[in-house]
Amino acid sequence: MGAFHGLLGLSGGQLAGVIAIAIFTLCIYRRYLSPISHVPGPFVASFTRLWHIHRILKGDQNLELIRLHDKHGHLVRIAPNEISLSHPSAIKKILSAPLHKGPWYKVIAFPDGRFQSPMGATDPAIKNELSRHLSAAYTLPNLLRSEDGIDATLSRLFTWFDRFSTQKKAIELADWFTFATSDVIGEVIFSKPMGFLEAGKDIDNTIANSHAQAAYVSIAGFFRWVHVALLSNRFVTWLGIAPWGHLINTAMSAIKERMDRPDVERVDALGHWLRMLESTRSFDGKLGSGKARMEEHEVRSAAFGAIAAGNETVAAGLQAFVYYMIRCPGAWERARKEVDEVLGGEGGEGGPGGVVSYASAQKMVYLQACIKEALRIFGPASMGLPRVVGKGGMTFDEYTIPEGVIVSVNIWVMHHSKEIWGEDAREFNPDRWFRPNAASLEKYFIPWGAGYSSCPGPNIAKIELSKICATLVRDYEFDQVDPKQEWSWKAYFTAVPGGWPVYVKKRGHH
């Protein structure tokens, strides 16, 4: 350090002064001279990302953004080079446009930072090609080929619920819904449930640890170089010491087992991916050209992505359905009447039976409206979706946003916009989906994102939500241990609630 001081001809105190002046100058530029300095927002956010990180760690970034947009309007500056948008056209102009994703996404890489995944790729051309390698597995007809396996998995959940009803035992739905969605993902991806419902407990604290992992990823995206240095590098991969946990270890084991037995034919997602892997072996194009071969790491990355993104998000949606329905007078009874009518009209029983089929659940229009409203009022994804403004910039209201600025759309902000949804935007009201303007609102309903980088698995979520919610309404009732107790949650990249224990009652058992 002394040699460095001597090279500059400065003492330690002088060097500290130079650094302080440089930081102060940078802050002044960002706050008052930046091309987006005129955009309103928190004072601290104008010169540092720390304001945003503080709100993420506090767990209320979604609610704070709603408050700020209520105060400032369509544009809110949340970082030196990022603007949050709530303009009704933001979904179309930002998410549905072929803009590069913000650099935050690069943190999503498996097994380490050397590889690109559909979610982590920021170039639309590369992201789209990676997605094409995987997309056949996510079509609704292909997923429904696993419906018998899904039913067998969900039957284990409802067997537990029957037991809890008899025992009059209070449970946390957060745990049991996550056990179920994790097992369903395993069944859909590689025909092997994760084992949570069989064990009836959290295995190796996988679910308990997921909240800390979610907080880490939410922050690590802004400091990717630290993440790569600590975890996401080839040395850690080579040593095999990455802390993936039970879910990923089970997935990687299932993939290795299948790769070691290429003669095994399955209709699950892994089967589709392995066939795509084989069919593209002769391709030699550059990634993003449309003719790049699929690589083995893409199969592992796809399984990682499906598991990481597909269990707690759907579980949160299931919780939201029950939580808001039991607080909405008459909603559960109205939905049950519809379920009974649909199943009775098909020649089935109105009372308890097997898991409701996806096809039958789609005929239950009020039930589907309740599911949509639960996802609108409590979207599982609570962090903004950032994109980079392209050449020519873009204009919202009187503001022109220059090229290179990050613009983000927060799903909660859009779903709670009174400008879009009306004065009751922040109330749970399934009947809004039967109003004359309901069709025009569909373009603002984005629980799984929108555009080229939307969630690849919404069909899995639709199947799970439809089947589970229909069966719950038909066969069970839920009473909170403390009806006045509100649930709690932290809004990291996703918002997963908990802390509202309930009693499960089997229909007809009081």
Taking only the tens place, the pLDDT of each residue in 148-184 is 999 999 999 999 999 999 999 999 999 999 999 999 9
b/e for 308-323, b at 16 or more Cβ within 10 A? bbbbbbbbbbbbbbbb
Q: Where are the domains of the chain?
A: 124-506
List binding-site positions for heme: 455
200-209, 227-236, 325-334: range with lowest mean pLDDT: 227-236
Q: What integer best gives the mean pLDDT of the chain?
A: 90
CA-closest candidate to residue 475, choices 147, 150, 159:
159
Give the other-Cβ count within 10 Å of 262's Cβ: 9
List binding-site positions: 455
Largest pairwise CA distance in the chain:
90
Q: What is the pLDDT of residue 173?
A: 97
Strand 502-506 to strand 82-85: parallel, antiparallel, or no bridges (unpaired)?
unpaired
CA-closest candidate to residue 167, choices 505, 508, 507:
505
pLDDT at residue 2 above 70?
no
pTM given for the model: 0.93
Q: What is the mean pLDDT of residues 456-469?
A: 95
- Residues 18-66: pLDDT tens digits? 888 888 888 887 887 789 999 999 999 999 999 999 999 999 999 999 9
Q: Which residues contact 501 (CB under 8 A, 6 or more apart)?
A: 170, 171, 172, 480, 481
Superfamily of domain 124-506 in CATH is Cytochrome P450 (1.10.630.10)
In contact, 42 and 61? CB cutoff 8 Å? no
- Residues 243-298: pLDDT tens digits? 767 778 888 888 888 877 766 677 889 988 888 988 888 888 888 777 888 888 89
For residue 375, what are the CA distances in angstroms to 208, 317, 463, 465, 495? 23, 6, 14, 10, 12
* Tokens 């506090």 found at: 58
Give residue 458's region: left, alpha or beta (phi > 0; psi -120 to 50): alpha
Q: Is 488 helix (H, G, I), strand (E, B) or coil?
A: strand
Q: What is the pLDDT of residue 300?
A: 87
- Report which of residues 410 and 276 the model is more confident about: 410
Sign of CA dihedral 105, 110, 113, 116: negative
Length of the chain: 510
The pair of structure tokens assigned to 177 is: 């819904």
- Residues 340-384: pLDDT tens digits? 999 996 545 545 569 999 999 999 999 999 999 999 999 999 999
In contact, 161 and 476? CB cutoff 8 Å? yes
Q: What is the mean pLDDT of residues 224-233?
A: 87
